[in-house]
Structure 1
Amino acid sequence: MNFQFPEVTECKVTHVHVRREFRGKDSGVPAFDLSFSKEGSNELLDLIDPALRTTLYFNAAADQGQAAMPDVLAVLPNLRVPKLNAGKFKYGDKDKWKGFRFVLDYGLGDAQSNIDVADTTVQVVEFECKEGGSCVIKWKVSFEADKLSDELRGRLTGLTDETVFIQLIPSSNVQQASGKQAKVPESEEDKDATDLFREAHGDDSDADADADADSEDSSDSPE
């Protein structure tokens, strides 16, 4: 998951949804879904997927022979297919990723004045590509707010259409919370078919294999 804003970043709150998060049979705890958008260079697409920018944009001048500057990120201002879906695309099939720290920075130089929430869930919703090399990305941050004071919750409810400054920092244990294809742990990815078979059938499979090998050796030996 590349999506993150480790440095304080300007963006716009497009919607605030207040709800209750239920845990079993309890009465639930207050929770928020904050929707954001940010417009800027199409390099923002690299935060979603590094392949998107070169897939959707190209440099017409460079294709006509204009020399590129060495060691400079390629400028791709032109849409490859301007009429494709009017440049608007959904992303991720509702995939959600849990394990982000969300900070709403009020710029007062005092961490106590910020809203700082650990273990939030992030969903990249959609993006819009524009001719000239700009784009708009949209995402959602969700979290339980039972540990926030009434004053801080009140601040959050009035953020719609406001320009804010945030940080979105992934922890060392970001995991896919929902979506069609959950992330496979690295330890599982490294296992081959033999390892998986042994886990499913136990170590007896090794013993059976050894027994078969001994049987073949005895049948091959001269009487």
Structure 2
Amino acid sequence: MFDLTKQTARVDNLNPKPEMHGAEEVKFIDIKLKADLSNTILDSFSPTLREALFCAGPQPDMHGHLKHLKHPELGVQHWAGEFRPVVLQIHGSGRSAKDDMVFRETRLSKIAFEPKEGGTCAFVWNIRVQPNEADAGRLFGLMHAEVRITQDMSAATTHEGDGDE
């Protein structure tokens, strides 16, 4: 569900969140990401979701893409729960994987999307990561920047909550 590969996304906000784990303070950063994605990603949430929100319209294209909104009045939709563990890879500007930041054991939550005419959806979601000091600095340097991300949810399970634990 909601797997992305080298997808362009915007780092919309970063929020440091220290938590006490027993006597130890653990530092996390919540990353708010935004991306316009093809409505086909909705099929990974539910096999009927895209067809519930989009139709082919009066003149379908030759590939049968669902591009027209059935209910434009619906606006922003929310997907409940949080998902963990998720692997987030933020690809660096270099050609080598060593320029990438890879975060394992992250928590994805607060998924919202707005279906758009033409067959896209504007997605917003949060991922909580536990960076080392160097990656924390690199993340803050990416604030409001467009980045390429790979998001792997293959091992993720759904948990109740919205990510504000």
For 1:105, the equivalent position in structure 2 comes to: 91
Q: Cα 1:47–1:136, aligned 2, differ >3 Å: closer, same or farther?
A: farther
For 1:18, the equivalent position in structure 2 comes to: 16
* 3-state secondary structure, aligned to 1:22: strand
Match of 1:138 among 118, 121, 124: 124
RMSD: 2.1
Deviations 1:110-164 (A, max 9, x none): 222211111111125210012222221111111222xx2x222111123221100
Q: 1:157 corresponds to which letter in structure 2?
A: F
Q: Within 1, Cα distance between the matches of 2:127 and 2:82? A: 9
2:6 is equivalent to residue 8 of structure 1: yes
Query: Can you give the 5+ residue segments of structure 1 that lack an aligned partner in the other structure?
Result: 181-223
Q: Cα 1:48–1:135, aligned 2, differ >3 Å: closer, same or farther?
A: same
- Structure 1 segment 65-80 matched on structure 2, within 5 A: 69=62, 72=63, 74-80=64-70
Do the aligned partners of 1:14 and 1:161 also contact (CA within 8 Å) in 2?
Answer: yes
Deviations 1:65-123 (A, max 9, x none): x6x74xx4x31121112223xx211221xx11111111110141222221111111112
2:148 is equivalent to residue 162 of structure 1: no
Q: State the shift of 1:168 in Å.
A: 0.9
Match of 1:96 among 79, 82, 90: 82
- Structure 1 segment 199-218 matched on structure 2, within 5 A: none
Match of 1:49 among 32, 46, 50: 46
Q: Within 2, Cα distance between the matches of 1:31 and 1:56? A: 35
Structure of greater Rg: 1
* 3-state secondary structure, aligned to 1:3: coil
* 3-state secondary structure, aligned to 1:60: coil
Do the aligned partners of 2:2 and 2:41 also contact (CA within 8 Å) in 1?
Answer: no
Q: Cα 1:108–1:120, aligned 2, differ >3 Å: closer, same or farther?
A: same
Higher relative contact order (CA 8 A, sep 6+): 2
Q: Within 1, Cα distance between the matches of 2:122 and 2:157? A: 25
Q: Within 2, Cα distance between the matches of 1:109 and 1:152? A: 18
User: What is the number of equivalent residue pairs in this alignment?
Assistant: 162
Do the aligned partners of 1:35 and 1:138 also contact (CA within 8 Å) in 2?
Answer: yes
TM-score by length of 1: 0.65
* 3-state secondary structure, aligned to 1:109: coil
Do the aligned partners of 1:89 and 1:126 also contact (CA within 8 Å) in 2?
Answer: yes
Q: State the shift of 1:17 in Å.
A: 0.7
TM-score by length of 2: 0.86
Between structures 1 and 2, the one with greater strand share? 2
Do the aligned partners of 1:100 and 1:118 also contact (CA within 8 Å) in 2?
Answer: yes
